Structure 1
Amino acid sequence: MQLIWLRSDLRQHDNTALAAAAARGPTVAVYLLSPQQWLEHDDAPCKVDFWLRNLRELSHSLGALNIPLLIRSAAHWDQAPAELLKLCRQLKIEAVHVNEEYGVHESRRDEAVAETLRAEGIEFHSYLDQLLFKPGTVLTRTGTYFQVFSQFRKVCYERLHGSLPSRLKAPGKQAALNIASDAIPDEVKGFATPSESLRALWPAGEEEARRRLDTFTDAQIDYYQSERDFPAKPGTSQLSPYLAAGVISPRQCLHAALHSNQGEFESGKVGAVTWINELLWREFYKHILVGYPRVSRHRAFRPETEALAWRNAPEDLKAWQEARTGLPIIDAAMRQLLETGWMHNRLRMVVAMFLTKNLLIDWREGERFFMRHLIDGDLAANNGGWQWSSSTGTDSAPYFRIFNPVSQSEKFDAEGVFIKHWLPELAGLNKKQVHNPASAGGLFGVADYPAPIVNLGASRDRALTAFKNLPSRQSAGAVNE
């Protein structure tokens, strides 16, 4: 009997470990509920709920193949080896199959499980699945992990031209086992159930993920490059929660994008090329996580930035968290996050730069808050994005690059459509005033909207000074966008 231990791979199609297990014999699936570990990792309640809803869909589709899905508890990952060994003994399991996960805690957990099982004569097999390339196989000429995305991408392109990673079919139906699937819980203690409106935005299941992928690559991908930065437009794929939970694979995404672009990575439709680029950024940050494990230990990628004189400003942090900064594009983006579990990518950069540069608050505060609210929260991508914005990360924005939220708002939400959707109290302002109500003079019916908590010019100068005072700083002139 074979056991597949499901984690961030909640699908039956193109699932490497599932295909390998089923090819070797009768297969059972298991999922471990680990609420204590999830709390330590700041996993959002809406993300845990998304996992449970996807598990319910997956249990149904695996059931049609006579593959039972069992639910077990290991509150902390330290308990995973004993819990899995107990199950393996009960079911007389010969081999356990998993898809690789990345991060310090994930690696330690899998090493401990493998050691415990092998000591009992049970095989443990792990497979490359959530990435196109195994970390450690895309390296510089000197054998180190890439730190610059464009160089990493170039090698990825060369590899992909040589051979595309192929997709795997779902397993066939196996003979019925005398094992019943477990009921999937509706909730897990410690994680509140999100609103029905949030859940409705993110239906669970592979069918929905593939529908979104098909819709995007059939029609929208052509406009991706030109529309992805405009938060009021449906310019992005909205697939990130499905990728983070493994409801769809990066291989499926890559093949769909290539199909829409006659097999080209670097030429043809600029929208498809740009989207493939985004898949490779996701890949890049996972490789960084493995190559430079300090980033998964809450450390800056650029060690010299650990000396930054971040401000201890709890009231400013709270105003940012609660969408009360007085800067409409910041507050609208934060409301989108709080109500939907998701934020438009351009706005993730804008609000992150505002927190870390204009408010000079430690990027770790923002990283943690995002993880606690994002349905697509992913350690590598979230950490990579925050460290990019705060100029502490690999291949990050230079410290003097500071987005001006008002300029960004005027450029990417010119008519104020996005702002007015999330801040209806500003609906009465014209398209000039809506980006900066304080400059309008007078109340204009927005008495409920706060004044800006910071002066953008003065706070920008403060950030430049803080970065210039670092022991080893980047040398270049200031840029204000």
Structure 2
Amino acid sequence: MNTLFWFRRDLRLFSNEALIEALNNGAKKAIFFICEKQWQQHNAAPIQIDLLKRRLNYIREQLAQYAIELHIIDAPYFADCESALLSFCDKHQVEHVIANKEYELNEVNRDAQILTKCDEKNITFTLYEGDVIAPVGTVKNQSNEMYKVFTPFKKQWLKQYQDTHFSLLPWPLKKLAEGKTNSPVLKGDGSSEKWPVDDDSLATIVDNFICDKLSSYDDQRDIPSIKGTSGLSPYLALGIISPKQLLVNIQNRYPDILTTSKSKTFTWINELIWREFYRHLIAQFPKLSRGDNFNEKYNSVTWRKNEADFKAWCEGKTGYPLVDAAMRQLVQTGWMHNRLRMVVASFLTKHLLIDWREGESFFMQHLIDGDLASNNGGWQWAASTGCDAQPYFRVFNPITQSERFDPNGKFIRKYLPELEKVPDKHIHFPHAYLGSIGGGKHCYWPAIVDHKAARERAIAAFKV
């Protein structure tokens, strides 16, 4: 049977069971569809598209070493993938198409339509669960329903896998060539050059995190001025690295990691399970892909429509130094520290009472690790509208968050050079610093909203 592999957001050769199955079935060709218009509709960040295209260039050359040809085809919208795929299959006598599942609504609808057309053409279309460790729908409560609270989901997830030592399928082919192609190099509009895309560099990044940072992750993950997080989220978002691959590597160093959930070493595994939770949710509840509140009782919240406040938030000009530094980090680098994502999301939805969908969209337009399931989950958690979200009356105080996680203002000063000379004891506050700075100048950083008044307004709005 002539087999074709369809790459999606699973841009890896190893730890890709669907790809290995295709190769074992004799596949000599693979495809990837460039869906620029669809990506624009999905608010994909230019920096992420650039990372994707750089990775495509790399794996195309890698596949060439195994005499596998990667065809990169323009299909502006998902709707165009159907005709492009069927035309390709007809031209190359393809009888079997293998791919990994995608769980967002548009992607699910695309695959359903293609499956119907493939059936009509007597083409087998097989989808694998390549983006999760636990297949969607396998972690359920006693009523055979999806969990709506994270902690019991995690407990059941661990119950299913705590005695499992994961392994990866062996790569089935031997290199035959140097891996050079005559295909044009894909180029994006953003600049993701600070993020390497070759497997050797990625292996080093993963090993360094597991060996040097994993044990201290719990202590350092909330401090934005140091590199205390894994830095792996962009690669997970595009499937350049798989969650199973990471778990295998961690178990090789910490064989009992899944049975030590109370240890600090387990903390990052907890984040991996949160990722699973949000993926299961978006697959089970299509309304999340449509931008609906998970908790419908908050549909009655009246959000403020204030373009000036939203613009100030986007540009890092709210007057709250930690919030503003975080937003500038996002716009300048395409990434934001996880603790700060919670802080700025709380500020937009509670202090400014602006719809979480506005922030979710802005994040997707700028994040190199933009991912609908995790981004939607995080924003609805912060806005108190989501599944297992923080209570509506919990409103992060950006000043105390700053004092706690950036006590010396090191992170703030990096992205707000205007405040470089402000003393530590004043750096966290949104009011004017009236002391002398460099030749008698003063620093003025006005707040667009008062914390106490904003908190009261938000609680009143959500109580409705």
- TM surpasses 0.5: yes
The whole-number CA distance in structure 1 between the counterparts of 2:402 and 2:105 is 38
Unaligned runs of 5+ in 1: 188-192, 470-481
Partner of 1:11: 12
Is 1:276 the equivalent of 2:276? no
User: Offset at 1:434?
Assistant: 0.8
User: Offset at 1:438?
Assistant: 1.1
Distance 1:72 1:416, change over 3 A: same
The whole-number CA distance in structure 1 between the counterparts of 2:176 and 2:207 is 33
2:387 corresponds to which of 390, 394, 397: 394
Partner of 1:286: 279
Give the conservation status (yes or no) of the 8 Å contact 1:433–1:439: no
CA deviation map 1:275-294 (0-9, x unaligned): 11000000000001011111
Distance 1:137 1:269, change over 3 A: closer
The whole-number CA distance in structure 1 between the counterparts of 2:56 and 2:262 is 36
Give the conservation status (yes or no) of the 8 Å contact 2:150–2:274: yes
Name which of structure 1's ranges 110-119 and 237-246 shifts more when overlaid on structure 2: 110-119
User: Offset at 1:64?
Assistant: 0.8
The whole-number CA distance in structure 2 between the counterparts of 1:247 and 1:152 is 26
Name which of structure 1's ranges 207-216 and 386-395 shifts more when overlaid on structure 2: 207-216
Q: Which amino acid aligns with 1:349?
A: M
Give the conservation status (yes or no) of the 8 Å contact 1:357–1:459: yes
The whole-number CA distance in structure 1 between the counterparts of 2:362 and 2:261 is 39
Q: Which amino acid aligns with 1:30?
A: I
Q: Which amino acid aligns with 1:243?
A: L
Distance 1:427 1:302, change over 3 A: same
Is 1:452 the equivalent of 2:453? no
Q: Which amino acid aligns with 2:63?
A: L
The whole-number CA distance in structure 1 between the counterparts of 2:309 and 2:442 is 20
Q: Which amino acid aligns with 2:446?
A: A
Distance 1:442 1:458, change over 3 A: farther
CA deviation map 1:185-213 (0-9, x unaligned): 213xxxxx224xxx232122333322211
Q: Which amino acid aligns with 1:332?
A: A
The whole-number CA distance in structure 2 between the counterparts of 1:437 and 1:248 is 41
Partner of 1:194: 190
The whole-number CA distance in structure 1 between the counterparts of 2:346 and 2:129 is 34
Aligned residues, how many? Answer: 459
The whole-number CA distance in structure 2 between the counterparts of 1:31 and 1:75 is 12
User: Offset at 1:437?
Assistant: 4.9
Partner of 2:41: 40
User: Offset at 1:16?
Assistant: 1.5
Q: Which amino acid aligns with 1:41?
A: H
Partner of 2:459: 464
Partner of 1:185: 186
1:403 corresponds to which of 393, 396, 399: 396
Give the conservation status (yes or no) of the 8 Å contact 1:131–1:250: yes
Q: Which amino acid aligns with 2:460?
A: T
Partner of 1:89: 90
In the TM superposition, structure 1's runs of 4+ consecutive aligned residues that sit over 4 Å from their partners are 442-449
Distance 1:440 1:180, change over 3 A: closer
Q: Which amino acid aligns with 1:124?
A: F
CA deviation map 1:243-280 (0-9, x unaligned): 11111110111122223323322428834300110000
CA deviation map 1:1-43 (0-9, x unaligned): 3111101011100111110100011321111010111011110
- Classify the secondary structure of the residue corresponding to 2:160: helix
Pairs within 5 Å for 1:148-159 = 148-159=149-160
Q: Which amino acid aligns with 2:305?
A: N
Distance 1:257 1:121, change over 3 A: same
Give the conservation status (yes or no) of the 8 Å contact 2:96–2:124: yes
- Classify the secondary structure of the residue corresponding to 1:414: coil
Distance 1:266 1:229, change over 3 A: farther
- Classify the secondary structure of the residue corresponding to 1:140: coil
Give the conservation status (yes or no) of the 8 Å contact 2:435–2:442: no
- Classify the secondary structure of the residue corresponding to 2:125: strand
Partner of 1:358: 351
Is 1:112 the equivalent of 2:108? no
Give the conservation status (yes or no) of the 8 Å contact 2:381–2:388: yes
Q: Which amino acid aligns with 2:408?
A: E
Give the conservation status (yes or no) of the 8 Å contact 1:326–1:449: no
Q: Which amino acid aligns with 2:327?
A: M
CA deviation map 1:411-432 (0-9, x unaligned): 0000111001111111101111
- Classify the secondary structure of the residue corresponding to 1:69: strand
Distance 1:258 1:309, change over 3 A: same
User: Offset at 1:343?
Assistant: 0.3
The whole-number CA distance in structure 1 between the counterparts of 2:257 and 2:183 is 44
Partner of 2:230: 237
Partner of 2:407: 414
1:345 corresponds to which of 333, 338, 344: 338
Q: Which amino acid aligns with 2:19?
A: L
Q: Which amino acid aligns with 1:280?
A: I
Name which of structure 1's ranges 220-229 and 432-441 shifts more when overlaid on structure 2: 432-441
User: Offset at 1:74?
Assistant: 1.1
1:371 corresponds to which of 361, 364, 367: 364
The whole-number CA distance in structure 1 between the counterparts of 2:231 and 2:346 is 23
User: Offset at 1:162?
Assistant: 4.0
User: Offset at 1:181?
Assistant: 6.7
Partner of 1:336: 329
Partner of 1:99: 100
The whole-number CA distance in structure 2 between the counterparts of 1:305 and 1:113 is 36
- Classify the secondary structure of the residue corresponding to 1:126: strand
Partner of 1:473: none
Pairs within 5 Å for 1:436-451 = 436-438=429-431, 440-441=433-434, 444=437, 450-451=445-446
- Classify the secondary structure of the residue corresponding to 1:201: coil
The whole-number CA distance in structure 2 between the counterparts of 1:120 and 1:97 is 15
The whole-number CA distance in structure 1 between the counterparts of 2:69 and 2:342 is 42
The whole-number CA distance in structure 2 between the counterparts of 1:201 and 1:357 is 34
Q: Give aligned-pair identity as a percent.
A: 42
* TM-score where L is the length of structure 1: 0.92
Partner of 1:130: 131
User: Offset at 1:442?
Assistant: 5.7
- Classify the secondary structure of the residue corresponding to 1:396: coil
